[in-house]
């Protein structure tokens, strides 16, 4: 623009003139503010597009101007090329006061901003909530929700104190990625919720209940797996900022319970976990606990308040109680071990992996002893059958006659169900049936195929067994097995007798995708010895000499074995095949390849996964 030319400035919108920063005749540069207008409570500036001398038109502070109203004229100065004007550089490192306030508040949330609290926690041999989360999730992927919330106690404590003492109201939660180095973003998505025991003993306050509600609703909407660090003392009576009498209208328990069967739920109990915290923990598909953890539906204060005695926290639900009774699935030495188990558990529901290895499958040929009555280690057998280092057994301390494990075969996640002949000869008791039925629900809910390894003489019988409500418990295997939608592959390792064998096959030998036996397999409506004693009682009783009677019995058993051995049963086509044990993996893989992938879904397949 040539010197002396005039540029007219007009109002960009209707508004009131609130400032005229440059005096009449004053010099302006490119970008100088010459008029400030207010419209709808917002200020809008008019800048000079050229350098020169300013002349206002008929404009006064307080005056109302319409859109397009002429405001001023700038007579261009000696600048020949406006583009040559120096534009004011922005200092990218400048921190405004409002941003500085944010940074200061964020520092109070971080572990670095709470050195005394963190030191006490470390002195107990424990990690902080944020340290556990950082260890679990992929670096930089955690997006926190509600971090600036504080305890609802403004009526009894100073706000500044609450900001310092009750960060995040004792609950750290958000979304993240887990195992992103092995799975794509879609399958690595996850939500993490952790009570913070350093804040009011990890109790459940009004604001952290609201945070859980928000997160659990998001989890349902986005179908995110959840890892819950549940350490804490349950409900908090000290909040004052809400008109609460009972607090029984809290939605978190219903919202979290509704997630069962929709997404994998992983619970971690480290230290003390009581009351409401334990209730959420109990909703999880799997419970991981660290050494020294105490888990109970009521803590010492509640027990004493109910007139039931005085106990130390360590006496309420220690692991020596909660592992054999089936509450705890996995035990870790410490927080780091628990996080590692959680990450590993989630991986089975995140998909297949490309890299895998396995043992020489010919080892399976000798896994079952030739002596048909000799016990063996079925867990060692499972380790050979599955991919190397891929087996994660659940609930090992409960129902020892039934093995339930997640594993991989050629990288594909599978659930493995197996009888353990070292406990009751592999007979299925009430605890074992509960354990198996619940595991089948878990696998079915999350589209994990099942491999069943059968070696059972049947269900446990006798007066003592019936005192455990055996009839109801064992029938769960039929009800759940008949409703499976995932592929089920059954291999009879040795014994496959009676109703127990049918239960290991989903209810019938025709229910699985395939049912095959190893050459060591022996099958029948009931155990051979029992069948001979019942079916040939008269013949045996007719022999007076005990040695002769025992010899007759042995010969009858041998005849029954020949009749019921797998190769003979296969001739009647009551099983699909008899296979070389070394061929087991190939059979499983080909069966899974022949199965269609699970259909895409937005809702649940099952209403829930039974907590027991």
Give per-residue pLDDT as tens, 158-199: 999 999 999 999 999 999 999 999 999 999 999 999 999 999
Whether residue 551 lies inside any domain: the answer is yes
Is the same domain home to 297 and 198?
Answer: yes
Whether residue 316 lies inside any domain: the answer is yes
Is the same domain home to 398 and 273?
Answer: no
Q: Do residues 410 and 356 make contact, with C-beta atoms less than 8 angstroms apart?
A: yes
DSSP state of 463: H
The residue with greater pLDDT, 523 or 4, is 523
227-259 pLDDT, tens digit per residue, is 999 999 998 888 888 777 777 888 999 999 999
Residue where a domain terminates, one of 319, 347, 375? 347
Report the pLDDT averaged over residues 548-573. Answer: 84
Whether residue 199 lies inside any domain: the answer is yes
Dihedral of the CA atoms 283, 285, 289, 294 (nearest 10)? 20
Is the same domain home to 286 and 369?
Answer: no
Whether residue 542 has pLDDT greater than 70: yes
Is the same domain home to 517 and 549?
Answer: no
Whether residue 353 lies inside any domain: the answer is no
- Average pLDDT over all residues of the chain: 93
Is the same domain home to 580 and 539?
Answer: no
Given this model, what pLDDT does residue 532 score? 67
Whether residue 92 lies inside any domain: the answer is no
What is the domain extent for residue 204?
Answer: 125-347
pLDDT confidence band for 555 (50 / 70 / 90): confident
Nearest of 216, 145, 140, 210 to residue 178 by alpha carbon: 140
Is the same domain home to 335 and 417?
Answer: no
Is the same domain home to 219 and 79?
Answer: no
Is the same domain home to 137 and 166?
Answer: yes
Whether residue 82 has pLDDT greater than 50: no
Write out the DSSP string of 401-432: TEEEEEEEETTEEEEEEEE-TTTGGG-B-HHH
DSSP state of 62: T
Is the same domain home to 200 and 289?
Answer: yes
Is the same domain home to 184 and 263?
Answer: yes
Given this model, what pLDDT does residue 543 score? 81
Given this model, what pLDDT does residue 88 score? 62
Whether residue 559 has pLDDT greater than 80: no
Whether residue 392 has pLDDT greater than 90: yes
**Could you tell me the end-to-end alpha-carbon distance of the chain, in angstroms, rounded to an integer?**
82
pTM, two decimals, is 0.89
Dihedral of the CA atoms 97, 101, 102, 107 (nearest 10)? 140
442-475 pLDDT, tens digit per residue, is 999 999 999 999 999 999 988 999 999 999 999 9
In the chain, the number of structural domains is 4
Whether residue 379 lies inside any domain: the answer is yes
CA distances from 460 to 424, 428, 497 (A): 8, 5, 12
Residue where a domain terminates, one of 300, 317, 347? 347
40-81 pLDDT, tens digit per residue, is 999 999 999 999 999 888 889 999 999 999 999 999 986 544
Beta strands in 179-250 (DSSP E): 189-195, 226-229
The pLDDT > 70 percentage for the chain reads 97
Q: Rounded to 5 degrees, what are φ and ψ at 523?
A: -135, 155
Given this model, what pLDDT does residue 174 score? 97
Is the same domain home to 407 and 261?
Answer: no
Residue where a domain terminates, one of 84, 106, 137? 84
Given this model, what pLDDT does residue 245 score? 73
Is the same domain home to 65 and 149?
Answer: no
Domain containing residue 15: CATH number = 2.40.50.100
Dihedral of the CA atoms 327, 330, 331, 337 (nearest 10)? -140
Report the pLDDT averaged over residues 369-378. Answer: 94
The pLDDT > 90 percentage for the chain reads 82
Whether residue 562 has pLDDT greater than 90: no
Whether residue 612 lies inside any domain: the answer is no
Whether residue 589 lies inside any domain: the answer is yes
Q: Do residues 314 and 294 make contact, with C-beta atoms less than 8 angstroms apart?
A: yes
Given this model, what pLDDT does residue 80 score? 44
Nearest-angstrom CA–CA distance, 204 and 201: 9
CA distances from 486 to 146, 447, 594, 606 (A): 39, 6, 13, 12
Weakest-pLDDT range from 74-78, 378-382, 406-410, 551-555: 551-555
Nearest of 342, 203, 338 to residue 285 by alpha carbon: 342
Nearest of 513, 483, 517 to residue 589 by alpha carbon: 513
């Amino acid at each position: 623009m040539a010197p002396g030319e005039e540029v007219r400035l007009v109002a960009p919108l209707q508004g009131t003139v609130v400032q005229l920063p440059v005096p009449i005749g004053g010099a302006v540069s490119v970008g100088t503010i010459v008029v400030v207008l207010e419209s709808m409570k917002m200020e809008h500036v008019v800048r000079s597009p050229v350098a020169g001398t300013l002349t206002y038109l008929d404009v006064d502070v307080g005056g109302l101007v319409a859109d397009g109203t002429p405001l001023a004229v700038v007579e261009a100065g000696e600048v020949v090329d406006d583009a040559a004007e120096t534009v004011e550089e922005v200092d990218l490192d400048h921190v405004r006061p409002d941003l500085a306030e944010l940074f200061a508040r964020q520092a109070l949330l971080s572990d670095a901003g709470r050195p005394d609290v963190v030191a006490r926690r470390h002195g107990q041999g424990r990690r902080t909530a944020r340290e556990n989360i950082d260890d679990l999730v992929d670096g930089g992927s955690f997006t926190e929700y509600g971090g600036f919330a504080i305890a609802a106690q403004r009526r009894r404590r100073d706000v500044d104190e609450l900001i310092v003492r009750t960060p995040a109201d004792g609950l750290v939660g958000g979304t993240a990625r887990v195992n992103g180095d092995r799975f794509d973003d879609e399958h690595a998505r996850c939500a993490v919720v952790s009570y913070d025991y350093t804040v009011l003993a990890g109790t459940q306050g009004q604001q952290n209940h609201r945070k859980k509600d928000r997160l659990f609703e998001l989890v349902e909407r986005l179908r995110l797996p959840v890892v819950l660090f549940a350490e804490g003392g349950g409900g908090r009576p000290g909040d004052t900022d809400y008109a609460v009498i009972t607090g029984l209208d809290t939605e978190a328990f219903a919202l979290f319970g509704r997630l069962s069967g929709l997404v994998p739920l992983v619970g971690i109990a480290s230290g003390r976990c009581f009351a409401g915290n334990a209730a959420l923990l109990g909703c999880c598909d799997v419970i991981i606990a660290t050494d020294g953890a105490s888990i109970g539906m009521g803590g010492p204060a509640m027990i004493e308040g109910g007139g039931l005695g005085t106990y130390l926290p360590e006496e309420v639900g220690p692991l020596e109680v909660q592992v054999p009774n089936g509450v705890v699935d996995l035990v870790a030495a410490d927080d780091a071990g628990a996080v590692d188990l959680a990450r590993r558990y989630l991986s089975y529901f995140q998909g297949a992996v490309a890299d895998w290895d396995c043992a020489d499958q010919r080892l399976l040929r000798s896994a079952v002893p030739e002596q048909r009555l000799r016990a063996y280690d079925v867990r060692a057998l499972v380790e050979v059958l599955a991919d190397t280092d891929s087996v994660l057994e659940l609930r090992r301390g409960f129902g020892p006659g039934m093995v339930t494990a997640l594993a991989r075969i050629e990288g594909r996640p599978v659930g493995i169900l197996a009888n353990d002949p070292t406990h009751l000869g592999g007979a299925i008791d009430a605890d074992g049936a509960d354990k198996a039925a619940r595991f089948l629900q878990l696998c079915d809910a999350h589209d994990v195929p099942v491999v069943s390894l059968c070696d059972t003489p049947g269900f446990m019988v006798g007066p003592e067994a019936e005192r455990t409500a055996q009839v109801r418990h064992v029938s769960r295997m039929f009800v759940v097995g008949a409703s499976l939608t995932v592929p089920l592959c059954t291999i009879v390792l040795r014994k496959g007798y009676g109703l127990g064998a049918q239960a290991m096959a989903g209810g019938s030998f025709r229910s699985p995708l395939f049912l095959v036996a190893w050459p060591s397999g022996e099958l029948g409506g009931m155990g051979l010895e029992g069948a001979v004693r019942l079916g040939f009682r008269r013949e045996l009783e007719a022999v007076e000499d005990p040695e002769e009677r025992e010899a007759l019995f042995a010969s009858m058993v041998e005849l029954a074995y020949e009749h019921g051995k797998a190769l003979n049963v296969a001739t009647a086509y009551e099983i699909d095949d008899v296979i070389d044990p070394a061929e087991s993996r190939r059979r499983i893989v080909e069966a899974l390849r022949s199965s269609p992938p699970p259909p895409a879904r937005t809702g649940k397949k099952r209403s829930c996964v039974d907590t027991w």
